[in-house]
């Protein structure tokens, strides 16, 4: 099933998901560096803005992802996509809550440690969701153009 949200036949969703994945993983790394003994405020600030930019990136990736979700016809692929989507929504809400905690009490060490734990949970959930996303592509062929689809499109263009 070819992607409905594509740019010159390249699916947009996989182009955009790399941003929240990288940013939220990097924010966790910054938290680990901060809590590992340095307690340098630079790392806490970088983690905060990485989470913020990751949220923006995730919301941008969700739009073409949802467009592709609506086009899925295979019931098994639709179920996997639904779980993938719900997990991603949970992850975004978790990181929004995480960001709010960091903003409301930046000097509270207990709250900062809890925010780091939330980041660990978010990154682990993101790994599970990524596994499901890979399953959609490599097993269910969601967003993958088949030879038959290419031939059909060439016939329509002629």
pLDDT digits 0-9 by tens, 38-57? 788 899 999 999 999 999 99
Helices (H), the chain: 13-16, 18-33, 41-71, 75-104, 109-138, 147-157
Does this model's pTM top 0.95? My answer is no
pLDDT band at residue 150, thresholds of 50, 70 and 90?
low
CA dist 16 and 22 (Å) reads 11
132 belongs to a structural domain = yes
Residue 26 placed within a domain? no
Number of domains in the chain: 1
Which of 20, 50, 18 shows the shortest CA–CA distance to 33?
50
Residue 126 lies in a domain: yes
Mean pLDDT of 54-62: 97
CA dist., res. 4 & res. 9, Å (int): 9
Within a domain: 145:
yes
Instruction: Indicate whether 8 belongs to any domain.
Output: no
What is the span of the domain harbouring residue 146?
A: 60-157
Q: How far is CA 31 from the centre of its chain?
A: 19
């Amino acid at each position: 099933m070819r992607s409905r949200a594509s740019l010159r036949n390249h699916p947009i969703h996989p182009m955009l998901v790399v941003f929240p994945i990288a940013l939220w993983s990097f924010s966790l790394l910054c938290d680990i560096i901060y809590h590992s003994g340095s307690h340098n405020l630079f790392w806490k600030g970088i983690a905060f803005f990485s989470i913020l930019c990751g949220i923006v990136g995730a919301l941008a990736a969700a739009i073409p992802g949802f467009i592709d979700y609506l086009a899925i016809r295979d019931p098994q692929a639709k179920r996997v996509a639904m779980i993938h989507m719900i997990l991603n929504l949970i992850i975004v809400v978790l990181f929004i809550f995480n960001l709010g905690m960091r903003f409301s009490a930046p000097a509270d060490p207990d709250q900062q440690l809890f925010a780091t734990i939330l980041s660990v949970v978010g990154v682990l959930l993101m790994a599970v969701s990524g596994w499901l996303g890979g399953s959609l592509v490599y097993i269910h062929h969601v967003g993958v153009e088949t030879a038959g689809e290419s031939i059909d499109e060439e016939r329509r263009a002629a």
